Amino acid sequence: MITNFRAETPARVRTLVRWLRFNLVGGIGIVVQFVALFLLKSILHLDYLTATALAVETAVLHNFLWHERYTWADRVQPSWRRSLVRFLRFNLTTGAVSIVGNLALMRVMVGVGQMNYLVANGIAIALCSLANFLVSEEWVFEETRCR
């Protein structure tokens, strides 16, 4: 797999590699979210919507750290200030899409449709994924022109 993108690497290839990396990180993030959801709902007995919001935020934090260091590492200039700004952007966009999307979909699938909460969570994650990649690619980890 390409670790460092070069200027001559076609944009489509860079985007494809990022999409693959995004999904690898996201796949691990799904495990993080499922484990957190299971612990919060089944072990700590929180309401499924509260547990979902907390589990999603746990996965968002996990995913941000890996996206910054792996998925979009070629665009990231190491700096706490810049990382904080990116984290705020990430949380306000992909975090919001994930939390609002997951809560709305969970409410419909579990609350109304009586679907198993773990199955419903998997479906909600898949439906929010593409929007999260696009917003991350175009805004959160936007390519800086002054390199």
How many other β-carbons are positioned within 10 Å of the β-carbon of residue 145? Answer: 5
Q: What is the mean pLDDT of residues 22-43?
A: 96
Instruction: Say how far apart CA 18 and CA 73 lie, in whole Å.
Output: 10
Residue ranges of domains in the chain: 12-140
How many whole angstroms separate alpha carbon 121 and alpha carbon 36? 12
Distance CA 73, CA 17 (A): 12
- Best CA proximity match to 125, nearest among 90, 98, 103: 98
Residues 32-52, mean pLDDT to the nearest whole number: 96
Which helix (H) or strand (E) segment holds residue 66: the answer is helix 48-66
Burial call 115-138: b when 16+ CB within 10 Å, e when fewer: bebeebbeebbeebbeebbebbbe
- Residue 147: is its pLDDT beyond 90? no
Q: Show the CA angle centred on residue 63, arms to residues 69 and 97, nearest 5°.
A: 130
* pLDDT of amino acid 146: 44
* pLDDT at res. 7: 60
- Who contacts 106 (Cβ-Cβ below 8 Å, separation ≥6)? 48, 49, 52, 117, 120, 121, 124
The position carrying tokens 């799904």 is: 30
User: What are the CA-CA distances from residue 4 to residues 48, 69, 74, 76 (Å)?
Assistant: 41, 12, 6, 12
Amino acid 144: pLDDT: 64
Residue-wise pLDDT for 89-144, tens only, equals 999 998 888 889 888 999 999 999 999 999 998 898 888 888 899 899 988 998 76
Over residues 56-88, the pLDDT tens digits come to 899 999 999 999 999 999 888 878 898 999 999
